[in-house]
Structure 1
């Protein structure tokens, strides 16, 4: 182990702050008159994890990103573009908006590394769909053709959330996080879980039966939610990820 790695681990031991990786998204921006492409995360994920006592780090989705797993105590996979349907054996629906294989390949490798290492994982919207695909599941590519309406992703001129009252499985991790008081899910997704992946179980549903949360049955904390956690005024999921990271990381445990 090199001196930089030793220094990184020593800092974590002394601070006791779990390091949570957040998968970056690429987006075009204009900065000082220049057209640029940047790797970014939305600020609420950063703020909520920091408020929960974590050190959030942005993880760009480049080849080899999975090698950062041994420096992380947890992983947050946020929302984003559609997952490439070829990854679950389907051709693209006309409404599917994937961005190409590079992002999916890098993010799947990072998620796989975290899963194998037993890291706590919170997967949000696209993140939950990617988690399901990672475990061999499939997706409904355009939900209005399944439900008959656009309730999960309202077709308006602006970014509008669909509101879904959740039915939560008693005894699940999600039920524990929300302690019998789940939020009205603020959704903006036109895709959803079809066939569940291996080792996953559904633990929350919308009134129309669409799966809104999944959990890994063989890991202490691997949770996926379809709603836009981080864009609603509810910090409980981020706090739960932080606590899972503190509980499972030998580095942060040494600092207690």
Structure 2
């Protein structure tokens, strides 16, 4: 009998190639942390066989889904993915299943909770901090500050961490039940969490691509939370 937690991961979708796709970094990070990765594709039923859920990175989200018209800088969208992930996240947030949202995945979490995002950071915030790096993805390019008392602050025990940054959208206002868990130097939200849940965390960077002890600890903590969820579900 398998005793490792099953971690569902939502893949990206290419309309042009009619293919689902995912970076191997996600699966390697889950395996290294002690979990078993499973790709989740659009379906009718909530995948109640999984013990943890990762919303992966990818393209932009349709602004109409969070009450806005698209601006010029908004990029390519995937209606199939948007519809599936938002429905999946809304259902998941009603449970205690551990959730980790990465980049786009953090934005999906916030929108599912009723929050909003900036369609383009440069156009809508005026920040001069570079959020879309021109460096290899494993390399960190700017700092973040975990919020005091947040999961990340407790996990890392550090005032600042260097992260990678490959996005042009960001959380504008928080959804219901979400709190800011980290900020970048320009004040943008770099992580969100639901403090009333065992593990609901969204991060704007890509921890799966960074081979640092902090990001490995993040995945280890997530997979451990999934293991605890698995054990709770088995209790009579």
TM-score (norm. length: structure 1): 0.82
Contact 2:182-2:192 at 8 Å conserved across structures = yes
Alpha-carbon distance in structure 1 between the residues aligned to 2:63 and 2:54: 22
Distance 1:43-1:85 versus aligned 2 partners, 3 A rule: same
Deviations 1:160-180 (A, max 9, x none): 777221111122111122232
Residue matched to 1:5: none
The secondary structure found in structure 1 opposite 2:207 is coil
Kept in 2, the 8 Å contact 1:213–1:223? The answer is yes
Residue in structure 1 matching 2:29, options 48, 70, 74 = 48
Distance 1:180 1:49 in 2: 24
The equivalent residue for 1:166 is 144
Instruction: Name which of 215, 223, 236 aligns with 1:242.
Output: 223
The aligned residue for residue 12 of structure 2 is 25
Alignment correspondent of 1:228: 206
- Using a 3 Å threshold, how does the CA distance of structure 1 residues 236 and 210 change in structure 2: closer, same or farther? same
Kindly report the root-mean-square deviation, in angstroms, between the aligned alpha carbons of the 2 structures: 2.2
Equivalent residues of 1:162, 1:188 under 8 A apart: no
Q: Could you list the runs of 5+ residues in structure 2 that have no partner in the other structure?
A: none
- For the Cα contact (< 8 Å) 2:145–2:161, is it kept in 1? no
Matches within 5 A, 1:99-248: 99-145=77-123, 146-149=125-128, 151-154=130-133, 163-180=141-158, 183-234=161-212, 235-248=216-229
Aligned pair count reads 230
Deviations along 1:157-201, one digit per CA (max 9) or x if unpaired, are: x87777221111122111122232753010111111111100000
Structure 1 unaligned regions, length at least 5: 1-13, 29-34
Cα distance, 1:230–1:42 mapped onto 2, change above 3 Å = same
**TM-score, with normalisation over the residues of structure 2?**
0.89
Q: CA deviation at 1:15?
A: 2.3
Distance in structure 2 (CA, Å) of the matches to 1:253 and 1:189? 39
Residue 205 of structure 1: how far off its partner (Å): 0.3
Alignment correspondent of 2:60: 82
